[in-house]
Amino acid sequence: MVIGSFVAADYAVFALMLLVSAAIGVYYAIVGRGQSSSREFLMGGQSMTAVPVALSLTASFMSAITVLATPAEVYRYGASYGLFSLSYVLVVVVSSEVFLPVFYRLGITSTYEYLEIRFNRATRLLGTVMFIVQTILYTGIVIYAPALALNQVTGMDLWGAVISTGVVCTFYCAMGGLKAVVWTDVFQVGIMVAGFLSVIIRAVVLQGGVSNILNHAEFGGRLNFWDFDASPLRRHTFWTITFGGTFVWTSIYGINQAQVQRYISCKSMTHAKMSLYINLLGLWVILLCSVFAGLCLYSVYKHCDPWTAGMVSAPDQLMPYMVMDILRDYPGLPGLFVAAAYSGTLSTVSSSVNALAAVTIEDLIKPYTHMSEKNLSWTSKGLSFLYGALCIGMAGIASLMGSLLQAAISIFGIIGGPLLGLFSLGILCPYANGGLAGLLSGLVMSLWVGIGAQFYPPLPEQSRPLGLTTHGCNFTTAADAFNWTASPTEPGLYTTVLQQNTAERPFLADNWYSLSYLYFSPIGTLTTLAVGLVVSLLSGTLSQMVVLLLTILHVAMRRAGKLDLTKNRENKLGNNNPGFCNVHELDFTKSSLPT
């Protein structure tokens, strides 16, 4: 239900954000006229510095999903979502110290080139196709999310907003290439923080201070950070977020083309690593803002839940609803918040479109054609327009996915998990050659649990949404002619699930399919690693198998303190085994061999 409409100041703020974003694209299109190669268009000529790349990394996946869905998640499930701050630390360290050096030193444009170098062309093609599918699905969600916000707060046509979002970001991405994408991200991350702060400051003033908001959250059970329940069926606990979340976000920052393409565009590896660590600060700021905004949401509506009362049709509409409720008397601020949601979308979509064009050029066109660099550059721009149109179309599917946050993370878990396992197998296990078998096995496993979870959603006792009430909704707002009643007008998702006949649910529904959606990624990753290693052992030569097993045994025993080859070296305990000496066996004469 539309509870307000934009005034001139709101439209002015919103239009200014769009104009500045488009202007950055035009500027870099003019400045970069001399750049005739596809690599310069897609990689920025590898001349970027750490700070703008760091802010671009922050903006790329801190999208409208973060602006709209994360506060709603905290409102319904509590602030345990803030534990992702711990996951981010592990993600940045692993990405900068394990994956970044490999990609940067290879000097590749597409991360999937590594797969052909390390395994074979079939593995590279399968990885590329999986990335394209994953990115188009995810981008459809982040286009739909701010359009939903606009539709909620202003009554603007939903699909008109979807198309305008896609057109603007596709325009500046196709015009200015990676440099335009990075610098618009820098501008847009500032807009995102400003939008959050406008809502948070107003809510703090209304509720009488930060301490009151935290007291309301504690009384309502929202400060549930330290839930150490080890059950994998629980939606959010300390373990699901820190363990599962680390896998999900490593698949984004460690190997995802949209992120890797940014930090390998830096002018040195030092700048590339710095960009990841500076990005960590940006991630913490955005996470803090989104989690506290969710606590503000609960504090304002603790006695009257708009979703249960039927005032909004989906939880993801709660934040824009509160914006129009508490900021309607401040012209321009609702426009700033919607601009923040739009900024998140523009940054993510432009990053995704640029990455899709890069992998298509490098993995699907260059190996099979002999186009000139000039033609490849024009093809890159054409592909940017094509993928922009595809992502707009996928927004229609996003409208059917329910919870936007869970849908987005599930996509990265189901497809990104096996890809993370494949890259980890190649980089961490130098003797492994079973990448393709491992990738297919991991994909099957993650699709099995992910699709099953869509057909058999977890029951409320496993997901455990926190209590909400409508007992304070009996009032009438004269200005908008609202008459809220205490009885819900629309049942929630979990009410519907609770009414299912549990006797009809198969055994796997309450066990395998009810796993936390954050475990989809670890399942795919670990399955890929395990199958890849087993296939490698079965298909490798005897010497490779022996070396691999001895290496694993040696590392394991040294960590356990049971094996130290340097201890008591001065004590002669026997002759050396020639099979483990650095001398070829043919160099031994018959008389020199031990008898």
Q: What is the pLDDT of residues 392-438, one digit of tens each?
A: 777 767 666 555 556 666 777 788 899 999 999 999 888 788 889 99
pLDDT at 576 over 90: no
Token representation of residue 479? 């200005």
| pLDDT bucket at 16, cuts 50 / 70 / 90 | confident
The domain ranges of the chain are 42-400
Model pLDDT, residue 587? 47
Which has the minimum average pLDDT: 26-30, 389-393, 511-515?
A: 26-30
pLDDT at 591 over 60: no
pLDDT at 575 over 80: no
- Grouping H, G, I as helix, E, B as strand and the rest as coil, residue 94 is helix
DSSP string, 8-33: HHHHHHHHHHHHHHHHHHHHHHHHGG
pLDDT tens for residues 355-399?
888 888 888 888 888 877 778 778 887 888 888 888 777 776 766
How far is it, in rounded angstroms, from Cα 56 to Cα 338? 20
Which has the minimum average pLDDT: 51-55, 235-239, 481-485?
A: 481-485
Please calculate the CA angle 459-460-465 and round it to the nearest 5 degrees: 145
How far is it, in rounded angstroms, from Cα 78 to Cα 318? 15
pLDDT at 466 over 70: yes
Residues 341/148, Cβ–Cβ less than 8 Å: no
Which DSSP letter does residue 266 get?
Answer: B
CA atoms within a 13 Å half-sphere pointing along the CA-CB vector of 131: 33
Q: Which CATH number fits domain 42-400: 3.40.50.150, 1.10.3720.10, 1.20.1730.10, 3.40.50.300?
A: 1.20.1730.10
Model pLDDT, residue 530? 92
Least Cα distance to 317 among 42, 69, 34, 26 occurs for 69
pLDDT tens for residues 194-205?
888 999 999 999
Token representation of residue 493? 């998702």
Residues 284/294, Cβ–Cβ less than 8 Å: no
| pLDDT bucket at 298, cuts 50 / 70 / 90 | very high
E strands present in 208-366? none
Among 180-184, 230-234, 244-248, 466-470, name the most confident range: 244-248
Q: Share the mean pLDDT of the chain.
A: 78
Backbone angles phi, psi at 476, to 5 degrees: -125, 130
| pLDDT bucket at 496, cuts 50 / 70 / 90 | very low
How far is it, in rounded angstroms, from Cα 148 to Cα 161? 8
Token representation of residue 215? 């007291």
Residue 484, CA distances (Å) to 307, 308, 490, 491, 498 in order: 12, 11, 13, 15, 25
pLDDT at 80 over 80: yes
Least Cα distance to 251 among 423, 432, 445, 129 occurs for 423
Which DSSP letter does residue 65 get?
Answer: I
How far is it, in rounded angstroms, from Cα 25 to Cα 527? 42
Least Cα distance to 134 among 555, 546, 379, 417 occurs for 417
How far is it, in rounded angstroms, from Cα 301 to Cα 74? 13
Token representation of residue 55? 């802010």
Summarize the confidence of residues 513-534 as an average pLDDT: 89
Model pLDDT, residue 99? 92
Give the percent of the chain with pLDDT over 70.
78
pLDDT tens for residues 95-150?
999 999 999 888 888 889 999 888 888 999 999 999 998 888 888 777 776 776 66
pLDDT at 584 over 50: no
Per-residue HEC secondary structure of 480-510 comes to CCEEECCCCCCCCHHHHHHCCCHHHCCHHHH
- Strand partners of residue 48: 266
Query: Position 387: which residue type?
Result: Y
Helices 269-300 and 210-219, packing angle to 10 deg: 70
Tell me which of 51 and 372 has the higher pLDDT.
51
pLDDT at 562 over 90: no
Token representation of residue 512? 């395998």
Please calculate the CA angle 183-185-191 and round it to the nearest 5 degrees: 115
Which DSSP letter does residue 48 get?
Answer: B
Q: Which residues contact 251 (CB under 8 A, 6 or more apart)?
A: 412, 413, 416, 417, 419, 420, 521, 525
Q: Which residues contact 562 (CB under 8 A, 6 or more apart)?
A: none
Residues 148/314, Cβ–Cβ less than 8 Å: yes
Least Cα distance to 415 among 515, 520, 513 occurs for 520
pLDDT tens for residues 149-176?
667 666 666 777 777 777 777 777 777 6
Residue 51, CA distances (Å) to 48, 186, 207, 281, 427 in order: 9, 9, 36, 11, 28
pLDDT tens for residues 260-272?
888 888 888 899 9
Token representation of residue 317? 């509409």
Model pLDDT, residue 527? 94
**Using CB atoms within 10 A of its CB, is residue 286 exposed (0-12), middle (13-18) or buried (19+)?**
buried
Residues 451/554, Cβ–Cβ less than 8 Å: no
pLDDT at 476 over 50: no
